[in-house]
Amino acid sequence: MAQYDFQVKRGKPIDSGRLKKDLNKSASIAAARAFSEQIDKGAHVSECPVCRSVSHHKLLTIYGFDYHECEGCGSAFVCNPPPEEALSAAYRSDYYTQANKVLYANDSIIDYRVANVFVPKIDFAVENSHPSKKTWLDIGCGVGEALSVAKNRGFDVLGLEPNVMEAEYAAERFGIEVRQDYISKDTVSKYRGQYGVISMFSVLEHVPDPNQILADVSEIQEKGDALVIEVPHFPSISTMSQMTFPNHINRMMHPPLHLFLFSLRALEGMLGRHGYKINAAWLFGQDFYEMISTLGLFAPDLNQSKLLSALSPMMSELQAVIDNHDLSDEVLVVAERI
């Protein structure tokens, strides 16, 4: 496995019982494909938006969008992203809203997600940071899972969420303050110096210019403040599986929702350029499940349910092999402003 100048945690136990929820993902893939295909494709960009390198090559086309791999930083990015208006329209679409209601703003699973998905992430962030202020700003807070945990850990919390449905859900469900606001050059002064921790879970992969948002966040924070970022990781066994079956994708390499999938080196370089050093990183994922559930689409007679039941008891161990070789599909980093 690769060596880094910071601690890297690898792997997370998987609750296999929960994985069976989307065993038959054909319908979800068909919807994901229809959504992506009707969105306008833009002109090709010349530079990697993550590290500005002009050395990159095409990996493949997914639903009309070209993913390139950067030779400078090792990230994957959509080289022909939609024009700005088309991208914002995609986030206002029924497809996006409905998907979020099922996956996130859903009373039947939210407590499970908080306890099993967000408690470990927030605790990892707290263990690996030393902010002088017990205040937490979550940019793109979604339905508020992360902030509900941070609040329980004693932080004064504020969420920013442009999506009205999610912002209202977060405020009602967890009693936290959520503003329908976003970080930009115009709003930096409102938030400067106030937040010991800033987090962005599943944000950087969605924004057209991740360097701009990091520059703005860097202006808000002071020496010693913590920045917590979670993004899709590249390369991973999930992305390799998806590149093998590019017409059967509904997450990770799903354009244009995921404009970027980041290597850990790319995150290290990008954070360094904006005045941060990484204290710790955590690689984990659902790669083995992604691979098996995709293969199942091509072998309907195989009885995927029985196969997964048989593999369930060893799912965590199988994923651990992937995590231990840095091929997980998610990465979380805790960085410190220097």
Question: Which CB sits closer to Zn ion, 125 or 266?
Answer: 266
Question: Which CB sits closer to Zn ion, 70 or 257?
Answer: 70
Q: State the Cα–Cα distance between residues 121 and 332, nearest whole angstrom.
A: 8
Shortest gap between Cβ of 74 and Zn ion (angstroms)?
7
Question: Which CB sits closer to Zn ion, 217 or 266?
Answer: 266
Question: Which CB sits closer to Zn ion, 18 or 52?
Answer: 52
Shortest gap between Cβ of 47 and Zn ion (angstroms)?
8
Stretch that binds Zn ion, among 4-12, 26-34, 50-58, 212-220 (CB under 5 A): 50-58
Question: Which CB sits closer to Zn ion, 14 or 51?
Answer: 51
Q: Is 51 in the site for Zn ion (CB under 5 A)?
A: yes
| Of the residues 50, 59, 315, 331, which one makes contact with Zn ion according to CB under 5 A | 50
Q: Is 72 in the site for Zn ion (CB under 5 A)?
A: yes
Stretch that binds Zn ion, among 49-57, 176-184, 256-264, 300-308 (CB under 5 A): 49-57
Question: Which CB sits closer to Zn ion, 50 or 281?
Answer: 50
Shortest gap between Cβ of 56 and Zn ion (angstroms)?
7
Closest CA to 140 of 117, 167, 169: 167
Please count the residues of this chain forming the interface with Zn ion, following the rule CB under 5 A.
7
Q: Is 53 in the site for Zn ion (CB under 5 A)?
A: yes
Shortest gap between Cβ of 2 and Zn ion (angstroms)?
17
Compute the Cα dihedral for 164, 168, 169, 170 and give only its sign.
positive
Centre a 10 Å sphere on the Cβ of residue 179 and count the other Cβ atoms it contains. Answer: 15
Burial classification of residue 190, based on how many CB atoms lie within 10 Å of its CB (0-12 exposed, 13-18 middle, 19 or more buried): exposed
Q: State the Cα–Cα distance between residues 143 and 167, nearest whole angstrom.
A: 6
Shortest gap between Cβ of 140 and Zn ion (angstroms)?
22
- The DSSP 8-state label assigned to residue 280 in this structure reads E
Q: State the Cα–Cα distance between residues 231 and 329, nearest whole angstrom.
A: 9
Shortest gap between Cβ of 48 and Zn ion (angstroms)?
3
- CB-CB contact of 273 with 266 (8 Å): no
Helix (H) or strand (E) holding 211: helix 210-220
Question: Which CB sits closer to Zn ion, 50 or 160?
Answer: 50
Q: Is 267 in the site for Zn ion (CB under 5 A)?
A: no
Shortest gap between Cβ of 29 and Zn ion (angstroms)?
29
Q: State the Cα–Cα distance between residues 156 and 14, nearest whole angstrom.
A: 31
Q: State the Cα–Cα distance between residues 132 and 225, nearest whole angstrom.
A: 7
Question: Which CB sits closer to Zn ion, 53 or 303?
Answer: 53
Q: Is 55 in the site for Zn ion (CB under 5 A)?
A: no
Stretch that binds Zn ion, among 62-70, 112-120, 191-199, 289-297 (CB under 5 A): 62-70
Closest CA to 23 of 265, 312, 276, 289: 289
Shortest gap between Cβ of 260 and Zn ion (angstroms)?
9
Encode burial over 29-64: b for 16+ CB neighbours within 10 A, e otherwise. Answer: beebbebbeebebbeebeebbbbeeeebeebeebbe
Give every CB contact of residue 161 below 8 A, 6+ residues apart in sequence. 140, 141, 142, 167, 170, 178, 179, 180
Q: Is 259 in the site for Zn ion (CB under 5 A)?
A: no
Residue with tokens 């799903």: 254
Shortest gap between Cβ of 60 and Zn ion (angstroms)?
18
Helix (H) or strand (E) holding 30: helix 26-37
Q: Is 70 in the site for Zn ion (CB under 5 A)?
A: yes
List binders of Zn ion among 73-102 (CB under 5 A).
Answer: 73
Applying CB under 5 A, which residues contact Zn ion? 48, 50-51, 53, 70, 72-73
